[in-house]
Amino acid sequence: MMTRLITERLRALFAFALAILGACSADAVPFQTGHIDGGSWSGLFAQGFSPSIRANPDRFVDPGLDLAEIVPLSRMRFFKSGYIDPGTAQELIAEDVQLAIVSNFFVNLSTFTTSSPELVGLSTNTIASTAPIANGAALDFYFPELPLTYGADYAAIFVNNNAGNLSVVQTPVLIANYIETPEGSGVYRPTSDYGDPDLDFVYSASGFRTGDYLNTFNAPYADANFIASFDLQQPAGDYNGDDVVDAADYTVWRDVLGQSVQLPNEGPGVTPGLVTVEDYNVWRSAYGSSASASSIVAVPEPSACLSGLAAVSLSLASRRVRNTSGRVTQP
């Protein structure tokens, strides 16, 4: 009986040691990926991306994750352009826009629904119209920590959701600046790129549709200006989605007071879908707050890991083997 008890204790201590090693190797940090480079006006259907690609190393820091780790997408941000629709010679306006994250840039658009196997997730918010949004302002799409695979390829597609049927909608967003290279050649290349501008179609933007599939600019490919945020929690009262609660959020609240509008980051204790004084109270109490990481697992410092392992080693060492009398001896 005593032998079995000690064996069980040894197994438990060994499992605890493995748990400490797992915690020491964990890399749970908030991070962002994306591409920011100037801003030319365009109208796009989609942008390909991967959580592991960062086109601006001075802006986006490598989180040090391993390929195939799961990372939670919280928000995807684009920026509005004043693109003129060639078909109407008027500013392009997109309405009732959601963002669909798919695992295949080449999803069949004729059968694209909320049940499509390529669909990874839909934004929880819908942009009613891009018309009142200022040029250069953020177009934010939120996700409830949508699990994506670090290193995998995805596409973000602007869609209208018609009772589960998803149709792509061209949306006015900024793309990277282009220059003629070499000068006088008639060939324009991005001043910087997200992925290889000659090879990486799946990391490019789509501004065209051919039949039932998205198409793109000829190489060198175009790229939208965008930022994908992982494990980011915005504060309640951040009604314009700029990651801080300030006077600009009060202006958003004031302009839609009394309307049936779903404010982003409304916070607890408010009437959903209706802008009231309750939303003002949330803003007032949260004034000055800023975005922070959510659901972040604390990673022990190396010294703490070593101390934990040392403690386990001492515990294991204290469990002696049988002595010559056949009894189990413990100090």
Long-range contacts of 320-328, Cβ-Cβ distance < 8 Å, separation of 24 or more: 328/2, 328/3, 328/6
Q: Torsion-angle region of residue 102: left (phi > 0), alpha (psi -120 to 50) or beta?
A: beta
Task: Please indicate, yes or no, whether the overall pTM of this predicted structure exceeds 0.85.
Answer: no
DSSP-derived pairing of the beta strands 232-233 and 226-230: unpaired
* Whole-number pLDDT of residue 292: 60
Query: Residues near 43 by Cβ (< 8 Å), separated by ≥ 6?
Result: 81, 83, 85, 92, 170, 171, 172, 173, 207
State residue 47 phi and psi, 5-degree precision.
-140, 130
Token digits of residue 26:
């964990």
Q: Check the CA dihedral 56-62-63-69 and report its sign.
A: positive
Nearest C-alpha neighbor of 105 from the set 220, 225, 196, 213: 213
**329: buried, middle or exposed (CB in 10 Å: 19+, 13-18, 0-12)?**
exposed
Q: Is the CB of residue 101 less than 8 Å from the CB of residue 149?
A: no
How distant is the alpha carbon of residue 236 from its chain centre?
Answer: 19
* Whole-number pLDDT of residue 53: 92
* Whole-number pLDDT of residue 279: 92
* Whole-number pLDDT of residue 9: 54
| pLDDT tens-digit profile, the chain (331 residues) | 545 544 455 455 444 444 443 433 344 468 999 999 888 999 999 999 999 999 888 888 888 899 999 999 999 999 999 999 988 899 999 999 999 999 999 999 999 999 999 999 999 999 999 999 999 999 999 998 899 999 999 999 999 999 999 999 999 999 988 888 888 888 888 888 898 878 888 999 999 999 999 988 777 888 999 999 998 677 889 887 777 899 989 998 998 899 887 787 888 778 877 899 999 999 998 999 887 643 332 233 333 333 443 443 444 344 333 333 333 333 3
Peptide bond into 144 cis (omega under 30): no
d(CA 112, CA 166): 6
Q: Check the CA dihedral 142-143-148-154 and report its sign.
A: negative
Report which DSSP code applies to 20.
H
d(CA 145, CA 118): 18
Q: Check the CA dihedral 13-14-19-22 and report its sign.
A: positive
**Apex 229 CA angle, 238 and 270, nearest 5:** 30
